[in-house]
Amino acid sequence: MRRVLSAAAAALALLVTGTACSSTSTPAAPADPKTEWTSAVKAAGFTTNEPHTFDEMFNSSKVFCSAGSALAIAGLARTVLSPEQADTTAMPARGADPDKAATAYGDATWKWACGN
């Protein structure tokens, strides 16, 4: 009986060891800040007015990093998110709640454009 248990234990040990060694999982690639920022602001309802692009808006958003926080960036964004300004701003959030859109913009910009 002892021999059968020893053989079973050895087989189990080989199985576990073989599984651990044969793992081919690779670590996830680091997130691309521009892609993540674009996804976040699109999810918040932002669009771009021609001729502007999300790439341009991502690069432009970096100037807000000096505001010092996501909340400060959101406050700045909120000043141009009134429905009346949707046709005159480069990146409006038509139909979205201006406060929620501004908060999402601030959070995304602080995290992805500013790296905080």
Q: What is the pLDDT of residues 34-53, one digit of tens each?
A: 999 999 999 999 999 999 99
pLDDT at 114 over 90: yes
CA 91/CA 38 separation, integer angstroms: 12
Domain locations in the chain as residue ranges: 33-113
Query: Residue 78: what pLDDT?
Result: 96
Note whether 92 and 85 are within 8 A (CB): yes
The three-class DSSP label of residue 61 is helix
Query: Residue 41: what pLDDT?
Result: 98
pLDDT at 91 over 80: yes
Instruction: Using the CB atoms, write b or e for 73-111: b if 16+ within 10 Å.
Output: bbeebbebbeeeebeebebbbeebebeebbbbbbbbbbb
